[in-house]
Amino acid sequence: MGVTLPQAAAPAANYLPAVGYGGFVFVSGQLPLEAGRLQVFGKVGAEVGLEDGRRAARLCAINVLAQVGAELGGDLERIIRLVRITGYVASAPSFTEQHLVMNGASDLFVEVLGERGRHARVAIGTAALPLDATAEVDAIFAVE
Amino acid sequence: MGVTLPQAAAPAANYLPAVGYGGFVFVSGQLPLEAGRLQVFGKVGAEVGLEDGRRAARLCAINVLAQVGAELGGDLERIIRLVRITGYVASAPSFTEQHLVMNGASDLFVEVLGERGRHARVAIGTAALPLDATAEVDAIFAVE
Amino acid sequence: MGVTLPQAAAPAANYLPAVGYGGFVFVSGQLPLEAGRLQVFGKVGAEVGLEDGRRAARLCAINVLAQVGAELGGDLERIIRLVRITGYVASAPSFTEQHLVMNGASDLFVEVLGERGRHARVAIGTAALPLDATAEVDAIFAVE
C-alpha cells in the first residue's frame, strides 16, 4: 500500500509501547518519528503549517501501527478493528483546525486497514508536546 | 426530563462518531453543537465566562448521548452505565476551574441516566479546540 | 516500600473517583494532593521546575493507587496489571519534557506494583489544569 511500517521504537523509561488485555491493545502515545528522529516539531498555527501538521499526524499513525504490529507478533490481520484514537496537536492558541491535522492519521489508518481502520476519534490542541513534537496519537485496538 | 436529544451528527472525515466493541461503546469527542451550529466558542478565562463554559459542556454531553443513542438503535435503556468521560476545556492559561466547567456535562449525564450516569472523569484545560469550540467531551459507555 | 497510600479522596460533584466494569477499573484524573491539599501548582517551564513536576506526577500516581485500592476494597493484589495512564502536565508553551515529568508517575507505579505496574502511556502538555495543579494522571487497570 506504499506504507512501510518501521521497526517499533523501544520504550525509554518505566512504561511500555503497548499493552494488551481483554481483547484490546492500548498503544502509548506515538510521536512523528522516522528512523528514530523527530520529523516535525513546533506548533501548528505558529512555525508549522497545516500540511506539515497533517504529515506529522500521519507519521504518528504509522508508528501506532508499528507498535500494535509488534504487540501482535507482526500480524496486523489479528486486528479486528481500530476502536479509538486520541490526537493531540501542539497548537498556537489561535489555531483551531486540529480536526484537519488529525485527518492525516485517520486517513492513514483507513488506507492500511480498510473498513477495520475506521475509528472513534478525539482531536484536541495542546500547549506543548514531548520533544517539541507537532503531534501525538494514542490508540485502542480490538484484537483476536 | 426536559432534555431532547438531537439527531446525531454525521462524521466529516475518515472516522466514526462512535464505535462499539466488547461491551463498550467509545464515543468520539463531541463539540457544543446545536442544530448543526457551534453554540459556544472561545476560551474560558478570556472571552468566555464560567457559566457559558458550563453550558458548552452540557451541550457536548447532550451530543455524546445522541451519539451513543444512535449506536444503540435509539435505545438508551441498553446503557448499563457511563464509565468515563474526558472533558477538554479551551482555556486561557490563567483559568483553573475546568472541573466546574465540566460539572455542566456530569450533571447532564446524571440528570438523564440517573445513577447509571455517574462516571469516572478527567477534566483538563487545552490550548485550543477544533472550530474554536469552548469544550469537547468524549465518553466510554458499558452497554448490553 | 516506603509508599503509604492515603485515604482516597471523595468526589466533589456528580462523578466518581473510579468506575469498574468488564474486568477494568477506570480511575478519574488525580491531582498532586497530599492530606487534602494541593502540593504542587503552577506550570512547568514557568514557575515550576522539572524536579517539582516529577514530584507532582508521583503524587498523582499515589492518589491513583489510593483510588483503585478503594475500588478494590483495599486489596491491590486484585490488580492484574496497570494497562494505561494518561499524564497531563500544565506547561509553559516552551516546555517540552513532559515525558521526563511523567517518569515520576511511571516509576512510582513500577516501584509499588513491580512488573504489573508497567503500562502504556500518553504524556502531553496542557494549557492549564484544575486548581492550578501542575499535573494530572488518569489510569485504566485490569483487575480480578
Can you give the pLDDT at residue C14?
92
The closest alpha carbon to B137, from B41, B59, B78, B35, belongs to B59
Alpha helix (H) ranges present in chain A? 50-71, 98-113
Cα(A70)–Cα(A17) distance, integer angstroms? 9
Neighbours of chain C (3+ CB pairs under 8 A): A, B
C22 in reach of chain A (CB within 8 A):
yes
Q: How many CB atoms lie within 10 A of CB C5?
A: 17
Average pLDDT over residues B57-67: 98
Question: Cell digits for C99?
Answer: 515525558
Average pLDDT over residues C37-61: 98
Residues 6+ apart with CB under 8 A from B21: A23, A24, A80, A81, A83, A142
Residues 6+ apart with CB under 8 A from B83: B24, B119, B120, B139, B140, B141, B142, C19, C21, C26
Question: Cell digits for C83?
Answer: 494497562
B113 to chain C, minimum CA–CA distance in Å?
12
pLDDT in single tens digits along all 144 residues of chain A: 578 888 887 777 899 999 999 999 999 999 999 998 999 999 999 999 999 999 999 999 999 999 999 999 999 999 999 999 999 999 999 999 999 999 999 999 999 999 999 999 999 999 999 999 999 999 999 999
Can you give the pLDDT at residue A9?
79
The closest alpha carbon to A89, from A31, A135, A32, belongs to A135
Contact map slice: A 76-115 vs B, CB within 8 A:
80-81, 83-86, 91-99, 103, 106-107, 109-110
Q: In chain B, where do the E strands start and end?
A: 18-21, 24-30, 33-34, 37-38, 79-90, 120-126, 135-143
B42 to chain A, minimum CA–CA distance in Å?
10
Residue among A93, A109, A117 minimizing CB distance to B128: A93
Chain B residue with minimal CA distance to A128? B127
Can you give the pLDDT at residue A143?
98
Chain A residue with minimal CA distance to B22? A23
ipTM of the complex: 0.95
Q: What is the pTM of this model?
A: 0.96
Q: How many CB pairs under 8 A join B and C?
A: 99
Element housing B99 (H / E) = helix B98-113
Helix-then-strand count for chain B, H and E:
2, 7
- Pairwise pLDDT comparison (B35 vs C49), residue with the higher score: C49
- Pairwise pLDDT comparison (A46 vs C2), residue with the higher score: A46
